[in-house]
Chain A
Amino acid sequence: MARRQAVTAWLFLSPAVVFFPLMFFLPIGSQLNAALFGGVTSSEYVGAGNFTRALADPEVLHSFLITLGFAAGSLVVGIVLGLLLALVLNQSLPGRTLFRAVILIPYLTSISIIGLLWRNILDPQVGILNRLLDAVGLPGQAWLSTHPLATIIGIEVWATVGYTMVLFLAGLQGIPEVYFEAARIDGAGPWRRFLHLTLPLLAPTTLFVSIIGVIGALQQFALPYIVTGGGPGNDTSLYAHRVFRVAFNDNQFGYASALSLLLLVVILVLSVVQLKIGDRTHDGA
C-alpha cells in the first residue's frame, strides 16, 4: 500500500521533476558555465573573473542601487495603495465589483502596451497629462526628465496595484467576522481594530505580496526598456536592463551571465530573509 502511494506521489510530482530541471536548473547551469568560461561558446576558462569584475564595476553598482530604490519604492507604495483600495472595496459599496474590475485591468494589460501608453501620456510636449495640467492652469512637467525613476515607480505601481488589491481583498475576506465582533464588544474602535486585528491577520498576505513584489521589481526590465531606454543618462537603467545591454549591446555574454547569477543570489537571499522575518512575525502574533 505504501509503495503504491509512493508511486502515485511520484507520478503526481513527475511533471515538475521533469519541467523544473529542464527549464530552470539546466539554463542556470548553462549560465554558470558561460560566466566561468567567458561566454556561451567560449572555451577560455576565466574562473571567478566575471564575478569579481561585476563587484568592482561602478555601472553595475549604480544599476543595482537604483534597482533597490525602484523595488523599495514600488513595494511600499504598492502595498499601501493596494491595502487602502482593498479596505475600501471590501465595504458594501454600490458598484464595488465594477471598481475592482477596473482597477485590475492594468495588471491584465501587456507591459509593452502600458509602457507605450505612459510614454505618450507623459510626453512633455504632446502628452495628454501636460495638456490636462495646462487646462487647469498648472505648469507642464517633464516627468521623465526631472524625476525619471520616481515616474517609472509610479507606472509600475499603477500597473500592479490591482493585483495587490485582489490579494489583500482575499486576505481580508479570509478573516473571520467574529474577531471583529468580539473587538467591537470589547470597545475597540475602527483604528484599533485595523491596527491590532486586520494588520496582524493580514501578515501572511503582506509577506506574500512583499516577496512577489521584490522578486518582480528586481527583475524589472520592460518598463525602462520601453519608456526611457534606461535614460536619461543611466538614471532608469535598472539591473536587468543593464544585464541586457551588457549582453546584446556590448556582446559580453559571459559577463552578462555572471551579472544574472549575482541577481539570482540577491533575490534568493532577500526571499529567505523575508520568509524568516515573516515566520518570526507569525510566531510572535
Chain B
Amino acid sequence: MYSSLTSSRLSRRAALRLGLGTTVLGAVGAGAACAPVTPDTGGGQGEGTFTIYWNAGHAYDAYQQVIDQFGKDHDLVVNWQKFQWPDLTTKLVADFRSGNVPDLVEEPGTASIQYGVQGNVMALDDLAANTDIGFPDDFLPESILARQHEGKTYAVPLHLTANGLLFYNRTMLADAGFDTPPTTWEEFREVALGTTRDDVSGFAVNSDYSYSAPWYLQHEVTFASVEDGDFLVPRERGDEVYEFLQRLVHTDHVSPAPVATTDYSGPQKLFSAGRAAMFLTGPWDLGPVRQGSPDIDLGVAEPLTGTVQASSMAGAGLMIPTQAKDPELSWELVGRLTALETELAATAATGMSMPRRSWADSPEVAGDEVLSTVAAAVGLVRAESTELAARGVQTQVNDLFKAAYEAMIIQGRPVAETLDGFREQARGVLG
C-alpha cells in the first residue's frame, strides 16, 4: 500500500531533496543579488527616477512644491530622501565609494569643497555660465567663497544664515530689570546672572561645538591657521574665549552644562519651555520657537560684540555628484530651488534667511523687524578659511575639536590644557 502510494506520488525523501534544492537555488540567487554589481549611474533608481538627499529639518513646503512640479514637468518619480546631517554625510560617503550616487544633494557648510577636490562632486561654473539663474551675481559673495576652491565652485548656496543671533525672552529680561538686550560679552554675562532663577537659566549654551564659532570670531580668533599649522590663534585669545564660556557654565552657573549628544536643539527646547532666558543661535530656530511656544515674547537681537561684532556663517548649499546621470537636469532643479520666489516662500513659512541679494533687498525682508535683524547678522558674517576642507581634513579636525569642546564646556576640564591637546592633535592631522 505504502509503496504503491509512493510510486504514484512524490516520495517524502524526494520532496525533501526538492525542497533543499530549491532552497540552495534560492540562496544562490539571493547571494547573486547581494554580490557586487556594476553600479547603475542613475543612482540605482532606474530610468525615470530622480534622487535627492536633503536635510530633514529643511524639508519645507516651498521646496516640496517645487520638487513636485519638477517631477511632473519631466515625468519623473522624485525620490526625496531626508536625513539628519551626520546620517546624510555617512550615506553620501558610502555612495561615493560605491558609485551609486543621488542626482542632487543638499550640502552642509563647506563640505562641497572637500568632495569637489576629491572629484566626487562637480564644479558648477560651466553649468552656471550657460544658464541665467542669477548665479553668481545675485548671491552674496561670502556664501560663494565658502564653496569655492582654486576658482571652481562646488555648490550653489541654498540658505545663508548667521550663527550668533541672540534670542531672548523679553518678559524675563524685563522682570529682571533689563529693558534692552545685551550687546557686549560683559553685558551678556550681567543679564544672564540677573535672569537666572531656581528653575530658569539666564543662558543655555549649546552642546554643539560649532555654536562657539561666533564667540571666537567676536574675540578676533582664527580657528585654523593652516600655513602655521596652528589652531585657535592667537592662542591666548583662543583660550580666553573658552574660559569665558566655561565660567558661564561652571562658575557663574548661568547656563546648565549641556549633554553630549548629536542633537543641537537643547537650548531651543529649554527656551521654549521657559527654562532659559537667552540663547545664541541662527534663524533656523525662529520657526520652532514661534510654533512651539507662541506665548513667549521672543526678542531677536544682533550678534554680541567682543572686541568686534561678528557672526559665523552657517547655511547649506546644493551640489551635484560627478556621477549624477543628468547634471543639466540636476542644475535645472538647482535653479528652481534657489529662485527668489522659492526663497521668499520658504522664508515666509520658516524665517530661514537666504543668500540672494534680491532676497535681502525685497520688501518682505527689509520691512520685517526680525528678518532685518537676521539680514544684519548675515552682514556681520566673518568668512573662515576653506583650506582644511580643501585638504580633506575638515571633518577630522572638527571631530577633534568636538571632543575638546565637550571636555571643556560639558565636563569643565582645564581650558588651556585641553586646547593645547587639541592643537597638537590637529597639527598632526595636517601632517
Chain A positions within 8 Å of B, measured between CB atoms, are 8, 11-12, 14-15, 18-19, 22-23, 40-41, 119, 122-126, 142, 144-145, 148, 225-236, 244-245, 247-251, 253
Chain A residues within 8 Å of B1, by CB: none
Chain A, Cβ-Cβ closest to B24: A14
Chain B residues within 8 Å of A226, by CB: 262
Partner of A148, one of B21, B260, B392, B395: B260
Partner of B21, one of A11, A22, A229, A247: A11
Chain A residues within 8 Å of B257, by CB: 124, 142, 145
Question: When the two chains form their complex, are residues A228 and B260 in contact, meaning their CB atoms are under 8 A apart?
Answer: yes
Chain A residues within 8 Å of B259, by CB: 119, 122-124, 142, 144-145, 228
Complex-state Cα separation, A22 to B273, whole angstroms = 53
Chain A residues within 8 Å of B34, by CB: 22-23
Question: When the two chains form their complex, are residues B93 and A251 in contact, meaning their CB atoms are under 8 A apart?
Answer: yes
Partner of B20, one of A14, A122, A144, A230: A14
Can you name 19 A-B pairs with beta carbons within 8 Å? A11-B24, A14-B27, A18-B31, A22-B35, A40-B97, A124-B259, A125-B256, A125-B270, A230-B403, A231-B410, A232-B407, A232-B411, A233-B407, A233-B410, A234-B403, A248-B93, A248-B94, A249-B89, A251-B392
Q: Which residues of chain B from 233 to 286 have any CB-CB distance to chain A below 8 Å in the complex?
A: 256-257, 259-263, 266, 269-270, 273, 275
Chain A residues within 8 Å of B273, by CB: 126
Question: When the two chains form their complex, are residues A126 and B269 in contact, meaning their CB atoms are under 8 A apart?
Answer: yes
Complex-state Cα separation, A192 to B372, whole angstroms = 79
Known contacts A125-B270, A228-B260, A245-B399, A145 near B410 by CB under 8 Å? yes
Chain A, Cβ-Cβ closest to B404: A233
Question: When the two chains form their complex, are residues A233 and B269 in contact, meaning their CB atoms are under 8 A apart?
Answer: no
Question: When the two chains form their complex, are residues B396 and A229 in contact, meaning their CB atoms are under 8 A apart?
Answer: no
Tell me whether chain A's interface is mostly helix, strand or loop, or mixed: helix
Measured CB to CB, the closest approach of chain B to A46, in angstroms, equals: 16
Chain B residues within 8 Å of A231, by CB: 260-261, 402-403, 406, 410
Chain B positions within 8 Å of A, measured between CB atoms, are 17, 20-21, 23-24, 27-28, 31, 34-35, 89-90, 93-94, 97, 256-257, 259-263, 266, 269-270, 273, 275, 392, 395-396, 399, 402-404, 406-407, 410-411, 413
Partner of A233, one of B20, B89, B396, B403: B403
Chain B residues within 8 Å of A232, by CB: 260, 406-407, 410-411
Complex-state Cα separation, A233 to B409, whole angstroms = 10
Partner of B28, one of A18, A119, A124, A253: A18
Complex-state Cα separation, A248 to B114, whole angstroms = 13
Measured CB to CB, the closest approach of chain A to B424, in angstroms, equals: 11
Chain A, Cβ-Cβ closest to B92: A248
Chain A residues within 8 Å of B404, by CB: 233
Measured CB to CB, the closest approach of chain B to A154, in angstroms, equals: 15
Measured CB to CB, the closest approach of chain B to A33, in angstroms, equals: 13
Partner of A119, one of B23, B89, B90, B261: B261
Question: When the two chains form their complex, are residues B410 and A22 in contact, meaning their CB atoms are under 8 A apart?
Answer: no
Complex-state Cα separation, A145 to B260, whole angstroms = 7
Known contacts A228-B260, A249-B396, A8 near B406 by CB under 8 Å? no
Known: A145-B257, A228-B261. 8 other contacts (CB 8 A): A12-B20, A18-B24, A23-B34, A119-B263, A229-B402, A233-B413, A236-B260, A251-B93
Complex-state Cα separation, A271 to B21, whole angstroms = 34
Among A19, A119, A231, A236, the one with the most B-chain Cβ atoms within 10 Å of its Cβ is: A231
Complex-state Cα separation, A125 to B24, whole angstroms = 56
Among A15, A40, A126, the one with the most B-chain Cβ atoms within 10 Å of its Cβ is: A15
Chain B, Cβ-Cβ closest to A123: B259
Known contacts A11-B17, A19-B31, A251 near B260 by CB under 8 Å? no
Measured CB to CB, the closest approach of chain A to B164, in angstroms, equals: 22
Known contacts A15-B27, A126-B270, A233-B403, A144 near B260 by CB under 8 Å? yes
Complex-state Cα separation, A169 to B293, whole angstroms = 50
Closest 3 CB pairs of A and B: A231-B260, A232-B406, A232-B260
Complex-state Cα separation, A226 to B86, whole angstroms = 11
Chain A residues within 8 Å of B402, by CB: 229, 231
Measured CB to CB, the closest approach of chain A to B108, in angstroms, equals: 13
Chain A residues within 8 Å of B256, by CB: 124-125
Chain A residues within 8 Å of B23, by CB: 14-15
Measured CB to CB, the closest approach of chain B to A110, in angstroms, equals: 15
Measured CB to CB, the closest approach of chain B to A182, in angstroms, equals: 44
Question: When the two chains form their complex, are residues B24 and A22 in contact, meaning their CB atoms are under 8 A apart?
Answer: no
Question: When the two chains form their complex, are residues A18 and B27 in contact, meaning their CB atoms are under 8 A apart?
Answer: yes
Among B34, B260, B410, the one with the most A-chain Cβ atoms within 10 Å of its Cβ is: B260
Measured CB to CB, the closest approach of chain B to A59, in angstroms, equals: 8
Question: When the two chains form their complex, are residues B17 and A8 in contact, meaning their CB atoms are under 8 A apart?
Answer: yes
Complex-state Cα separation, A229 to B31, whole angstroms = 34
Chain B residues within 8 Å of A245, by CB: 399
Chain A, Cβ-Cβ closest to B114: A251
Measured CB to CB, the closest approach of chain B to A4, in angstroms, equals: 9
Chain A residues within 8 Å of B403, by CB: 230-231, 233-234
Complex-state Cα separation, A230 to B34, whole angstroms = 32
Chain B, Cβ-Cβ closest to A58: B425
Chain B, Cβ-Cβ closest to A250: B396
